[in-house]
Amino acid sequence: MAPHAESPQPASNGTTAFFAPAPAQAELFTVNSPNVAYTDNEILSKYTYRTTDITKSDDGKLVATPRQTLYDFKVERKVPKVGVMLVGWGGNNGSTVTAGILANRRGLKWDTREGEHESNYYGSLMMASTVKLGIDSKTGNEINIPFHQLLPMAHPNDFVLGGWDISGLNMAESMDRAQVLEPTLKNQVRKEMANMKPLPSIYYPDFIAANQTDRADNLLAGDKACDAHVEQIRTDIRNFKSVNGLDKVIVLWTANTERFADIIEGVNDTAANLLQAIKNGHEEVSPSTVFAVASILEGAPFINGSPQNTFVPGAIELADQHKAYIGGDDFKSGQTKMKSALVDFLINAGIKLTSIASYNHLGNNDGKNLSSQRQFRSKEISKSNVVDDMVAANTQLYKEGEHPDHCVVIKYMPAVGDNKRALDEYYAEIFMGGHQTISIFNVCEDSLLASPLIIDLVLVTEMMTRVQWREHAEATENQAEVKEYNNFHSVLSVLSYMLKAPLTPPGTPVVNSLAKQRAALTNVFRACVGLEPESDMTLEHKLF
């Protein structure tokens, strides 16, 4: 895609940023079906969801009953002007994704010792992968299209960027401190980024490592939760939206990992108790939860990219009450993404994993923060639970209560900087008492893997704000029987592909299988335009 024409606007104090207006992108395809209709503003579709109900008969035999439900979907076609506010904007991820979007917007190229490189969105599921649309009726070949063109989606080149940080460095200085990007690239975006400065953030020393104190020079007054902090964040979101003429603002936490907050009855277990706890300045209300509450009250979707339990029960209930979207937790970028794919493959192949040992060392500020035990414990939990549903699904390999040994170690080694070293050993039982050991050494350029996930999370979240559904009911003389359209549940489990510890609506299962997560996202998007899931049975070839 050609770079968009640049229209700089003044950018300072986190309220404005450079924005490149672009014409609306034409939709790549239309669906020729009586179940799909297009208006100037909407795509309307009927979709038959097919599943299988399982019951157990009196003699203990399982009975499988196919079931189908007809749904109506409604998708807004107009792509809004989207603002993205990052909490921790001045960190490695925030500065890297900002520079990357600026570079892509301008189509920049830069020299390295390996030769010339050009801007791209590699690592983004939405922007750099494709999905199968169908089969060419003449040749029988698969037709694959960019994922982001399944639906009329926003483009990251058009994001307006802003946010908060406990550090007062401008974004150019933050980019230098991060030591992620090539100097020849940094020099081309430096002027724009020097005009971007994060808004003051909140800082509760008990929730992040003490070694972060030297960065904390851009703070709102107060070291515990309070109504004033919630109101200031709401005001910042409101001002950012107004000053930049935005249709929507999405807030994403990419700041330091916090310690886990204790779940306390009467404090953070309900929405009302959580709001009162903030008013009272309770010590178990974290900064990320305050940001989540402010975003929910302001109607801005909030995504948690770190492993702590930001979404305490009271925050989830508050989001549900306000019909506000939330998603989390913890970016799934390098080692954990490999683990969720490999474990899924091995267990589905009938190989019994008995031990998983994961070791990491990294030298960026994330590693420095995680060198504190309480913050590491948050990360350990998010990285350790990613195999649970896959193990539970295979009762041929694992008896009830049986689980592979699973150990996660993270060490801070400043010399390696943002180039995290991840070493994994998978030990498994195979046929007739044999064993298989798989060892992986993975060098993950941490922020260059996480930044595309920020883009994906924003793109998918924004898209879901324009999708509504209802169970289909034919119009009758009694129009009251026709159901109203609803939004998706406030907890966006459709974001799971990008997150280590996916948040799901209360009472629903967590899915960590990478293949299932991608299939769910793909098929939700296909349903929105009235297309069935691709079965991959290829019967059109086998039955000729």
Please, are residues 123 and 448 in contact by the beta-carbon 8 Å criterion? yes
Q: From residue 26, give the alpha-carbon distance in Å to each of 153, 219, 536.
A: 10, 44, 28
- List the strands of the sheet with 486-487, edge to edge: 36-38, 42-56, 62-76, 467-471, 486-487
The catalytic position among 241, 337, 352, 379 is 379
The CA distance from 235 to 57, in Å, is: 59
Q: CB of 409 within 8 A of CB of 358?
A: yes
Cα–Cα distances in angstroms (integers) from residue 543 to residues 139, 142, 539, in the given order: 16, 17, 6
Residue 83 half-sphere exposure toward CB, CA atoms < 13 A: 24
Is residue 383 annotated as part of the catalytic site, yes or no? Answer: no
Number of Cβ within a 10 Å radius of residue 413: 14
Based on the residue annotation, tell me whether 337 is a catalytic residue of this protein.
no
What are the C-alpha distances in Å from 20 to residues 3, 104, 159, 160, 163? 9, 11, 8, 9, 18
Q: What CA–CA distances, in Å, run from 49 to 42, 52, 413, 526?
A: 21, 10, 50, 12
Of the candidates 339, 344, 440, the residue with the CA atom closest to the CA atom of residue 397: 344
The catalytically annotated residue of 330, 366, 424, 456 is: 330
Specify whether 330 is catalytic: yes
Rounded to 5°, the CA angle 162-165-256 comes to 115
Active site residue 132: no
Choice among 248, 352, 383, 420 that is catalytic: 420
Instruction: Please pick, among 337, 368, 383, 500, the residue that the annotation labels catalytic.
Output: 500
Closest residue by Cα to residue 105 from 194, 6, 247? 6
Tokens of 36: 């799909």
Q: In sequence order, which ranges of 137-182 are alpha helices (DSSP H)?
A: 171-178
The Cα 178–Cα 84 span in angstroms is 20
Tokens at 243, concatenated = 């000053």
Identify the sign of the CA torsion 106, 112, 116, 120: negative
Catalytically annotated residues: 330, 379, 420, 500
